[in-house]
Amino acid sequence: MLNAFASCIAYAFVAQAAQPKSIRIYPELDGHWFLDGKLAFGCEVSYSNGGKRRTPGYLNGNLSWRELIVECEQALLHGDELLVDLYKVRQNKNTLVLRARHRDNPKVETTFEIKIPPIQSIRVLLPENMEPFYGARIEPLISLEWANGVRYTYKAAEASALVPRDSVELYFNANRVYDGAIQLPAFNLNEPHTFSLSVLWAGRSMLHDVQSFAYRGRDHRVWKFKTISGADARRQGKAPTGMDGAEGFYGAAGADAYEVHVCLSMNVDRTQLAVTATNGFKTFTRIFKPEEFSLEIVALGGDGGDGGRGGEGGPAPFDDPYRAGIGGNGGRGGRGGKGAVVTFESTPECEAFIPCIIVNNADGTNGRPGQGGRGGVFSSGYGVPTFFEMLFPSRNYDGAPGEE
């Protein structure tokens, strides 16, 4: 009888200690629910005895959803996921309101408001393999990024895009484009040979992007002016017994590209466009038909050489087994050379073609830093090294990689 009474007391104590105290909602805030309308979430209940339990699914817990009541006026609950009505969210000042309470303890409740994150950037670009030939049909891409890091890129003409079409305004030159597809005009000698694409986030004039593109001619040419790259540094040798490894040699700097001078001229009847480009050592020249002209000039700075590996630390002397050398630091990579200055000389009737010339005159890349040398091997003293020590010898510190 006494045991039964004690059991009842213990049960009552445990039940009292395990009463729900508070509840929290954890939504997937770094996801893209505001695009596809699917928001994963979970709830966590804290108890008066200090314990916590979480719902299954998104939070991977063991608290049954049947113990909770979840309500949301802008979404339907489907397991641990909300199917969000984005139209209702936008009508509610871009805010999703989620409420949860404990079924047996209604006073244990909470409310969580989730704002659609603001747009941070918007860009307009052409697909990688889409060439803007005269008379071609193009479908620009729009790339968006939100404050929570979510990025989304889609074709402006894509009917199934997750972004409402009235949220973005697309322009070809100064003309508004409504269906997302653009028919480029045929070649006209007296019209500009470049075009612009602009995109604007509706209602926020400061959030926009403008890009200029040259029409691609059928006779497209790429003229490359080579620049000498810096040599890679050789690796340092092993240090003598008991000495630290030497610092790695530096990679050689890449050469600066020579200035490129471009000349354009046209014959009297304006049917031939003569183009010449030279850096004093190499010259390109070609006669183009104006309607087929398309040119890219590549005049990069030379790449820097890779830094050399630091020297290996010397082994410990036989009579001082703990004085192995430290590995030498790796050498610094050589700096990249400067890209070429490109200048133009043109007759008045050719000036409209200068923007059609794509110039790639980026600086060369810096060489990679060299690896640090290995630390020297500690000696086993006067004893004979074990087989394990022969396979895995103890070493002093390795050198650090070279500076970037």
Judgement on whether residues 182 and 270 belong to the same structural domain of the protein? no
Out of 25-34, 223-232, 325-334, 380-389, pick the least confident. Answer: 380-389
Judgement on whether residues 98 and 171 belong to the same structural domain of the protein? no
Average pLDDT over residues 114-133: 92
What are the pLDDT digits (tens) for 126-159? 998 888 999 999 999 999 999 988 999 999 988 8
Label residue 346 by pLDDT band (50, 70, 90): very high
Judgement on whether residues 224 and 208 belong to the same structural domain of the protein? no
The number of distinct structural domains making up the chain is 3
Label residue 2 by pLDDT band (50, 70, 90): very low
Nearest 5°: the CA angle 308, 309, 315 is 145
Domain boundary among 194, 216, 238: 216
Does residue 210 belong to any structural domain of this protein?
A: yes
Residue 43 buriedness (CB in 10 A; 0-12 / 13-18 / 19+):
buried
Report how far residue 73's alpha carbon sits from residue 99's, in angstroms, rounded to the nearest whole number.
9
Label residue 386 by pLDDT band (50, 70, 90): low
* Residue 258 scores a pLDDT above 60: yes
What are the pLDDT digits (tens) for 17-36? 579 999 999 999 888 999 99
Label residue 53 by pLDDT band (50, 70, 90): very high
79 phi-psi bin (left φ>0, alpha ψ -120 to 50, beta other) = left
Judgement on whether residues 29 and 108 belong to the same structural domain of the protein? yes
Domain boundary among 71, 95, 115: 115
What are the pLDDT digits (tens) for 57-104? 999 999 999 999 999 999 998 888 999 999 999 999 999 999 999 999
Does residue 268 belong to any structural domain of this protein?
A: yes
Domain that holds residue 105: 20-115
pTM above 0.75, yes or no: no
pLDDT at residue 11, as a whole number: 41
Distance from first CA to last CA of the chain, Å, rounded? 80
Q: What are phi and psi of 251, to 5 degrees?
A: -70, 150
Out of 219-223, 304-308, 370-374, 385-389, pick the least confident. Answer: 385-389
Does residue 14 belong to any structural domain of this protein?
A: no
